[in-house]
Structure 1
């Protein structure tokens, strides 16, 4: 049967409207089933600790379970790429740290574009780093530590959670600041690195308070300083690096949340509202305070995260190029 040409525009418009309505309804009804939060690092690490506490807090306002899935490897790039390739329906989101901004300089070939393949949701927490060593390390304070490591730099090993990890970046800055290079031992995550530090198979490392606070309070490692501008409330006896003598030394590991690019704005809005509610949840705030993390509830929005990434990519790019560190 032929269709009169004069009815074609109306027919096409009707078809377009029919396609839009289901998508609109999906956005309005979001979420109707669990949301997966990808953590691009091994389970048990500092970002994983933040993610699992935040997932539970967000569940309360979303009305759906938020499932944390660990997709580790290649300094976080494998899990990050997984989110970039996921459907833009809001059911797969990414919780990543400062490595989101360092990867473009560290990796010559990234399987995603950090600037264009994601829709920012908001900043989450900022976590200070701690300088810790095996419990029998022969230095009682930071001054003694600095003297000892400079004198024995060819004999000492410094662990990290892999190229591009927060502990790796902190270590690079520390070595650059004191003018010394140590044998660096990369691991597949912070958990394995900490296990070897506890087992005295490596000498020291720089790691986030979310991973070290319990070990420090339990006396299982020696702690010398924190990398924040001010002392950490949960570790009040630890001086800042600046106080201890490394003037201006400050490293904070910010974390953010993203969805794949093209995620409808109503879904981004719901995820952002849930994120803010989660960050303000009393149980979450208490847990982060215990671990020394700073909750960034006022910056839990797309604009703040977008601004952070745009300023951090060139800053870290310059530092990494000067250090001459790259990953294939």
Structure 2
């Protein structure tokens, strides 16, 4: 139907001499031929829009080439119009006074005199041209109608002198091409500007802008969970946001640690790491991350020894009795471990070598599942942290034969150290905990998190909760990012050779 309207415009032009007209922006309406204006106006008035003339327009429309019709069907209207002969014919101007009726039915017209280009959109939604053309008003925009239904944005000129002047097809085509080029050049610039605005707005937000996710890479019930929950509560007030605990266990803590390493370094995801996750696991497992390089240290927090515990059904009350029973019953006892390379696994290997005994080690996802199996009797021995084991030692469900520290624990004063129990040379081991962020986290955010951790560990309530679980809070000078980095490197240097000597095979 677009070509039908263009052909109707061509009917308004004089049929005798095929002349082209032009007008400069400074020329008035009088520069156009009066005879041509009269001919155009009379031609428009003398041709009523009857059904026969409509059939004539349809015949002309069908006379278009098949390729041109296929272009229309594919929606390439702009290219079809600007390259067709009908467009060039319709672009020949029909000049008339501003008060006369437009015979071109809102087709290509511009303003003469003092005129300026502007961008307007055709609002026509009919499938056939209107039978009553609307007059052009002085100072109004005459849209370039190139389609019906869902029209594109088109060019028009606003007349400031109250008259109408021509626009040639070549000018229309050139302006459209130039507009497309400008739009194509502006799009990348707009994307860059929008991205810069978004980044600037995000960086301008105060930290933290939302709740902070603390990943605990072990199931509930272990030391990491026992330290993380009171710590998170104490960090709420200094940060002004909630700290949400997410327990992601498996593979000796490496699954949750890998997720934290891949998180955005914006301070909204942090990791509660322990000795397992940031010392031993790198020696024994093939990891997708580096335990030193892919994390930013925040604070060293706690130390905790381990308890050698056995099920109450085992007929032993001391460490020496336990060693004698192991020698008399080889391969009849199962011990629980939090995974390959975990402290219970390592201490099991040390115990086997020192006592020349044989027993099986069963790996679990964390201390919580170990405790459940030990209480149920499925396993009958385990090295457990005091936070997990001490309540059940007091209740009598399990027995504690020794503690891996240099001094006895305040919460379990009756439990001897391993050296006092009779282990040759003593067995001293501390399961520490610390807080880490993904690599690349800004130093300002690290300092904010460190201050929140220090305030949380200094609160009376958090200290009381941790002390009741046998967890010792580190001294203030150890709670800095620099101190944590130094402690981690020293632990790796100390324990990796011991792991090799224990004969633990990398997985």
| TM-score, length-scaled by structure 2 | 0.59
Task: Choose from 274, 280, 295 the match for 1:102.
Answer: 280
Q: 2:401 is paired with a residue of what secondary structure?
A: strand
Q: Residue 276 of structure 1 contacts residue 297 of structure 1 at CA under 8 Å; is this kept in 2?
A: no
Residue aligning to 1:87:
264
Task: Choose from 475, 479, 484 the match for 1:305.
Answer: 484
Residue aligning to 1:4:
none
Q: Distance in 2 between matches of 1:95 and 1:139?
A: 36
Q: How does 1:1-328 map to 2 (within 5 A)?
A: 22=201, 25-26=204-205, 29-99=206-276, 100-107=278-285, 109-246=286-423, 247-298=425-476, 299-328=478-507
Q: Distance in 1 between matches of 2:500 and 2:258?
A: 23
Q: Residue 280 of structure 2 contacts residue 495 of structure 2 at CA under 8 Å; is this kept in 1?
A: yes
Q: Distance in 1 between matches of 2:354 and 2:471?
A: 24
Question: Which whole-Å deviations, capped at 9, do the CAs of 1:151-204 have from their partners, x for residues lacking one?
Answer: 323221111122133322332333333333311111222222211111111111
Tell me which protein shows more strand as a share of its residues.
1
Q: 1:292 is paired with a residue of what secondary structure?
A: coil
Structure of greater relative contact order (alpha carbons < 8 Å, 6+ residues apart): 1
Q: Residue 105 of structure 1 contacts residue 326 of structure 1 at CA under 8 Å; is this kept in 2?
A: no
Select the structure of larger CA radius of gyration: 2
Q: CA deviation at 1:249?
A: 1.2
Distance 1:34-1:151 versus aligned 2 partners, 3 A rule: same
Q: Distance in 2 between matches of 1:87 and 1:103?
A: 23
Q: Distance in 2 between matches of 1:20 and 1:265?
A: 18
Q: Residue 58 of structure 1 contacts residue 278 of structure 1 at CA under 8 Å; is this kept in 2?
A: yes
Q: 2:365 is paired with a residue of what secondary structure?
A: coil
Question: Which whole-Å deviations, capped at 9, do the CAs of 1:49-103 have from their partners, x for residues lacking one?
Answer: 1111111111122111110101111111111010110000000000011011111
Q: CA RMSD in A?
A: 2.1
Q: Which runs of 5+ in 1 are unaligned?
A: 2-13
| TM-score, length-scaled by structure 1 | 0.90
Q: CA deviation at 1:33?
A: 1.2
Distance 1:15-1:46 versus aligned 2 partners, 3 A rule: same
Q: Residue 105 of structure 1 contacts residue 316 of structure 1 at CA under 8 Å; is this kept in 2?
A: no
